[in-house]
A and B are shown apart, each in its own frame.
Chain A
Amino acid sequence: MAKPNFFNENLNRSYPFKVGTVDLTKAVAGAVTLANLPDEFIVDCGFVLGPLSEFSEQLNQVYLSRISRPTSTTILFEFSCDAWGVSKPLIFTRHSTDPDFTSEYVESQQDSVSESTDSCSEPDWSGYLVTGSTAALFSMITMGQNIIRQATEAVVETTLIQNLYNNQVVSISLANADRTRAVRPEACPALEWNFLPGQVFIQTSCLQGDLIFRPGYNCTISQLGQTNTLQLQAIEEAGAGQPCEQVPKFPAETAPTNTENELFEGDHYCNEVLRTINGLQGPGLTIYAGTGVSIVPAENELTIDINLRDLSLCTYSAVSESL
């Protein structure tokens, strides 16, 4: 006698479901539920939970959530997962003409709502299903029947789940936080940009495949093979050297519209403001009136009067003439 193979054996046992979650009682045609799901319906399955699935072995499970027969020749098997990152079920289709032990591989459909991340997302999850007797399926499930899971039925064996959550970098996106921007005093007109400052500006999103790091201005990048580490260092003049112009935080960044220079910050160049007088720097600088001099402030004006105050004057003095 030929030894029964794996699928044949599974026609008569709960596998791939956990024992006690299916085939609890004998099902009759037209009254199939997931609690009494006949063993011969499904003989094998397996699921891969993707890197964004947030699946946890302690908290989550995969289960058959629905069987339906929308047309006379089609039966749908819907598997679901209660992990937070899995939003769509996997739906397998069987036709009345399919041979016994038909297998099918399915990936979850992408969620069209979050297009920005879906353009480079992995499927939430994927799986395969091997059904047993096609004749039994179409004889037991009647046209239009919709069998929905109740509570704790039809739970897939945990060893048939491969959990890849947190197991890979799916994509890399680049962005820059805003630079520190100048603020004008209250009495002055506020700086105006043609964009909203203070944001994180997206440079590009969803880079995938082989990527190369390039050291730009004042930057070196080294690879430490021993520790599998990329080391980025700030070193003056390294990499591409010093920039000749300001580096924009995003391609369309411009200076404020109401300034005289092109500084992105809205500030002043070093040579546009008085940083020192005779080498003395502020923020407060005192000018003393010594002997023979008076200094009179008025608003934004200093009058330095060389009036020879407190000095002995001679009628033939040439000092005052030289001034």
Chain B
Amino acid sequence: MQTLYPELLPSLENTTYPFLPTASLSNGSVFFLEGTFLDAHIYAVNGVGNYYISSVQVSSKQIKFNLGDLSNADLISGTVDLPILDSVIELTDAFGRSAGMLVSEPSRLALFTTWGVGTHRFERSQTEFVITCQMPVPGAGVTGFVLPDGSFVTGHVWFVGEEGVVVRHEVGEDKEGNPVDLIRVDIVGDPLFLQKLCNPESLFVPVNPIKIVRVVADNQTFDCTPDEYGNISIQMNDALAADAALRVRTTDVGLVISVEGSATMD
């Protein structure tokens, strides 16, 4: 009995679709049957088109399909675990981002279990997909920021300056003199950050530093403030007597103020 209006996928099972009609479907040692895949939908974010199956890796646990394009033979991939239960093989790029799917049925995918364990490579002319399976992706510009740990961020991305780094928005000009947004990065430090780093729980114990040394002598008062390096000197004055006995010595243990002379003979 012939079905007058077959559903879409059954209508494709005896065709080379989703591969090009000119695709040989064989690398000389293994081959795809017509109807191995019923449909495909491929849209790698960094792809440039002309997608094809570049290799099929068969292992005892799973089958991995690697798809390439004009620039990269291993651009995206999808896997199906053994035993085969899935009908849809989801394709993802190296960062796990969705890149489409291959549609089949478990009984059709069983073909690959007859291939030997190992990697089976194909040329573009052997397994290129038809253009209607390949969806263009808008030129999004930057598709993501990869972080040192391998993760990546997309969508609305925030740059947050902290620990001495300040990020700012400025408007500059490009080579043609058109206004362009600038992201300025200043690395200026955080003067109190070391204390925060040492004791982040309670920040730090507030100090009440000495700002002035006030000298009171008889009825006179002098305010001694630190120099540009925060230093102050206490010295003896030997201008009035060549044999001054007062000594101010800086030692490892502190400042010693003494008078030279003979000790009392008791």
Contact = CB atoms under 8 A, between A and B. Distances in A.
A272 B209 CA distance: 9
A260 to B, nearest CB: 10
Interface in B189-204: 190-193, 195-196, 203-204
Interface stretch (B26-34, B54-62, B123-131, B136-144): B136-144
Contact of B169 (A204, A271, A306): A204
Interface string B62-92: 0000000000000000000000000010100
Interface stretch (A70-78, A100-108, A139-147, A206-214): A206-214
B255 A277 contact: yes
Given A167-B137, A280-B255, A292-B258, A212 B183 contact: yes
Contact of B103 (A159, A186, A206): A159
B1 interface: no
Contact of A159 (B7, B39, B258): B39
Interface string A183-226: 11111100000000000100110110111111111110100000
Contact of A274 (B39, B154, B213): B213
B232 to A, nearest CB: 5
B245 interface: yes
Nearest to B266: A310
A182 B11 CA distance: 75
Interface string A1-44: 00000000110111100010000000000000000000000000
A214 B183 contact: yes
B179 to A, nearest CB: 11
A278 B98 contact: no
B244 interface: yes
Contacts of B141: 168-169
Nearest to B152: A166
Given A166-B97, A273-B226, A274-B213, A322 B181 contact: no
Contacts of B225: 271
B230 A273 contact: yes
B181 A287 contact: no
Given A12-B4, A15-B8, A271-B230, A265 B241 contact: no
5 contacts: A162-B41, A169-B154, A287-B255, A293-B257, A321-B241
Interface of A: 9-10, 12-15, 19, 51-52, 55, 57-58, 117, 120-121, 157-177, 179-188, 200, 203-204, 206-207, 209-219, 221, 232, 234, 239-240, 243, 246-249, 265, 267-268, 270-280, 283, 285-293, 295, 301, 304, 306, 308, 310-312, 318-319, 321-323
Q: Which 7 A-B pairs have the closest CB atoms?
A: A290-B258, A292-B259, A275-B230, A286-B254, A322-B241, A168-B140, A177-B162
Given A159-B103, A274-B210, 10 more contacts: A173-B159, A175-B167, A188-B206, A212-B182, A216-B187, A243-B188, A271-B230, A288-B256, A290-B258, A291-B261
